């Protein structure tokens, strides 16, 4: 599968890049995608939630009423969860939500999403853009020229491109990352995926 390279003005440069079929033309595995997205979201959780249980509540333990004869249930402490201000039954405790996910499953998930995007025509190749000074205005012009203005898009650069990143980071619909940081969540959470020229070769070395 060949894809034409466009410049920052949205014009065809006359060059094209062959997208490897092992990455961009496989049969998508939805379960692998689900597992990788779940793994990503689990890692975003702080896990600092905490509620005080019965043993951690500072309240009187004096017996409130006699054991029998009141017509109600017996009660021996204000720490009981049945009273307002009592301890929580099986309340949340700090925990780590991370779980093990094999690297091959993560690779399969990324290939699955890339293949789906490729089949839907939602992948573009942009020639290397050199921005002298960070400029959100200039970056917005590039988005408009390549018909991605207002679309949720993720840009993968060939290595770290500081000025390119600083120019687009203020735009809420744009995510800019080095191609080494490609993730299933970012891919599936975008309408368009844009690779800088040369980034596909790096991606192939990562996922091969």
Q: Do 29 and 112 touch, CB atoms closer than 8 A?
A: yes
* pLDDT at residue 43, rounded to an integer: 94
> What number does CATH give the domain 2-45+99-207?
3.40.1370.10
Domain chopping of the chain, boundaries: 2-45+99-207, 47-96
* pLDDT at residue 105, rounded to an integer: 97
Q: Which pTM value belongs to this model? A: 0.82
Instruction: Considering only CA atoms, give the Rg of the chain.
Output: 27
The per-residue pLDDT string of the chain (208 residues; one tens digit each, 9 = 90 and over) reads 788 999 888 888 888 888 999 999 999 999 999 999 999 999 999 999 999 999 999 998 899 899 999 999 999 899 999 999 999 999 999 999 999 999 999 999 999 999 999 999 999 999 988 888 889 999 899 999 988 888 899 999 988 888 889 999 999 999 999 999 999 999 999 999 999 988 999 999 999 8
């Amino acid at each position: 599968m060949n894809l034409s390279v466009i410049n920052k003005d949205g014009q065809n440069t006359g060059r094209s890049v062959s997208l490897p079929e092992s990455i961009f033309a496989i049969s998508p595995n939805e379960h692998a995608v689900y597992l990788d997205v779940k793994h990503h979201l689990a890692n975003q959780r702080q896990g600092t939630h905490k509620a005080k249980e019965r043993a951690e509540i500072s309240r009187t333990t004096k017996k409130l009423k006699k054991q029998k004869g009141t017509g109600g249930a017996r009660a021996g402490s204000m720490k009981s969860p049945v009273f307002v201000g009592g301890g929580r039954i099986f309340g949340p405790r700090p925990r780590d939500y991370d779980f093990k996910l094999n690297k091959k499953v993560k690779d399969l998930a990324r290939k699955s999403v890339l293949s789906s995007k490729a089949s839907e025509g939602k992948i573009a190749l942009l020639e290397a853009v050199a921005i002298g000074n960070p400029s959100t205005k200039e970056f917005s012009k590039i988005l408009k020229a390549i018909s991605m203005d207002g679309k949720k898009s993720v840009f993968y650069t060939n290595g770290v491109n500081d000025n390119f990143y600083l120019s687009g980071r203020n735009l809420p619909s744009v995510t800019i990352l080095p191609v080494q940081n490609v993730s299933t969540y970012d891919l599936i959470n975008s309408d368009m995926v844009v690779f800088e020229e040369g980034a596909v070769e790096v991606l192939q070395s990562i996922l091969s």
